[in-house]
Structures are given as C-alpha cells and as structure tokens.
Amino acid sequence: MSSSTPDALLGPADVRELAAALGVRPTKQRGQNFVIDANTVRRIVRTADVRPEDVVVEVGPGLGSLTLALLEVAERVTAVEIDDVLAGALPATIGARMPERAERFALVHSDALHVTGLPGPAPTALVANLPYNVAVPVLLHMLDTFPSIERTLVMVQSEVADRLAAPPGSKVYGVPSVKANWYADVKRAGAIGRNVFWPAPNVDSGLVSLVRRTEPVKTTASKAAVFAVVDAAFAQRRKTLRAALAGWAGSAVRAEAALVAAGVSPQARGESLTVEEFARIAENRNTGNDSTGNDSTGNDSTENEEQAQQ
C-alpha cells in the first residue's frame, strides 16, 4: 500500500466542490452517480481482491473516488472515461491528491464499448462503478476484448446484479446470466446503499464478482454461434425451445433435431439451460437439415399449436 495521506480519498464535500469547480452536473443520460464515501470505495477494492501486483482497468471513473482507492493498492490503474470534462480533470485530481502514485495512472478518453487496447501492461483486473444504462454491454465487451482480466468486480443496479449472477432455473436468469458465465464464474458480492452516491439514485446497487474461467467452455462452436442461440432462446422466453429456436434453425423440425442431438428436451425453456447446453445446441445447428422435404417454412402443425398456446 502507498504512503498516501488519510484524506487522499474524496469525501462528500470534496466531490461536490470538485464538481462545482468543473461545472459538472451528473447526467442520467450517462448514468452518472458519483460515490462520495471513502469507506465504500475501500470496501469495493477489498471485495475485488485487488493485489499489489495488479494492473487494474476502471470504466467510468467520474471524479476519481474509486480510482484513488485503487491506486492505494494496485501496481497500475488505467481509467476509461467518455466524458470530456471528467477525462480532462482526472489526471490533475490524481496528481494533486496522490502525487506519489500519479505515474502509475493512465487515462483513456474513449467510450468503453469502442476500446480495443490499453496503454501499458495487460490488465489483470477490472473494477468499476458501471453506468447503469450500459453496464452489461460494457462488461461483456471488456471481458471479451481483454482475456488477461482474471478478476472483475462491478457495481451495477441491483436488478442487473441479480440477473448477472442468476443460476439456471431462476426467474431472472437470462441473456446477461448466460453470456457472463461464458467468460467467468459469477456471483453476487454484496449490496451498496443509495446514500453513498451523489446524486442518490432511485434504485439500489449491487456488487458482482466475476472470476475468469480457468478453462473456457468446451465446445467446437464459436462464441458468436453460441450467443446467437442464447439470444434466440430468450427473445421468446415463454416458448419452448422447439418453438423459440425455429427461426434460428430454419424451422421447428430442425430446431427439435438440434435439441435432441444436444441432449436437450425440445419442451424445455431457455431459462433452464446452462451455458454448456447452449453450446451443445449451437454445435448441432445443422442436424436434420435434410431430414424432411417439407420443413423449410417452419410452419409444421406442432409449432403452430405451441404458438397458439402462448
């Protein structure tokens, strides 16, 4: 840990004064809610298991509350900020409040969804208070773009945290759950109260821990192919997979053939499947393509009956 002074982190008065000096007003458009409690950001760093050798990437650093807490512990921190004013001010804030660690900080002024590279060593951890409106796309993009990220801790809207960490069979298990699990073992890691933010959001927040899989999902299908099955399955989540995957496979008959070949019941629904089962379905997409001479439309009687029941 660095020798930074106890008041190096930002408190409520510091955040408001800094924002006022910069003319910054948090916007809903970018999901900006600044953390104003030093104990909270230190708790996030501890929960993230940030280590002295870590190279941390942070998305949406805002005024720098979490950034400073990360710099207390990590070897290096790279922050990705889209806001022009915030990006311009953050290096000066780091230099003023934690000068002995300033050389270990780097800023990337960009939309995190478009970032394909970072300066310096490859990141080993991702720690972020993610903007609520783009939390899942940003998380998945970063995990996909930077396979060196071993550990991730993100703060997101509580409902999003529940979805990300939901197991198969849960009512909130869906696309974010499956796609996150493609990359990592995912779990809820705590809750964050509204009063540690400025402005206070209208929703609760949750911490989600993601630890990169030691071995990737074993499949011959590409990630894109697997994710296409996932998207199709949950686009019509109340339908059986036989009906929901009819468009993806070309017909309900072909969907059933792929499901049977994958060892999945055609009457099952997407919310009951693991990522490995989705991968097996993707592997068997072409099963049964020539099994009949009249299934190209997908309008077989069984599919019509299923759709009439929804």
Annotated binding site for S-adenosyl-L-methionine: 33, 35, 60, 81, 111, 129
Beta bridge partners of 184: 212
How is 10-50 classified by DSSP, letter by letter? --HHHHHHHHHHHT----TTTT--EE--HHHHHHHHHHTT-
As a whole number of Å, the end-to-end CA separation of the chain is: 58
Measured CA to CA, the distance from residue 205 to residue 197 in angstroms comes to 10
In the block, tokens 């919310």 appear at 271
Measured CA to CA, the distance from residue 210 to residue 153 in angstroms comes to 6
Report whether 282 contacts 255 (CB < 8 A).
Answer: no
**134's tokens:** 């783009």
Cα 217 to its chain centre, rounded Å, is: 18
**106's tokens:** 């780097």
Measured CA to CA, the distance from residue 251 to residue 279 in angstroms comes to 19
Sign of the alpha-carbon torsion through 124, 88, 4, 12 = negative
Report whether 63 contacts 86 (CB < 8 A).
Answer: yes
Annotated binding site: 33, 35, 60, 81, 111, 129
Residues 6+ apart with CB under 8 A from 219: 226, 276, 279, 280, 282, 283
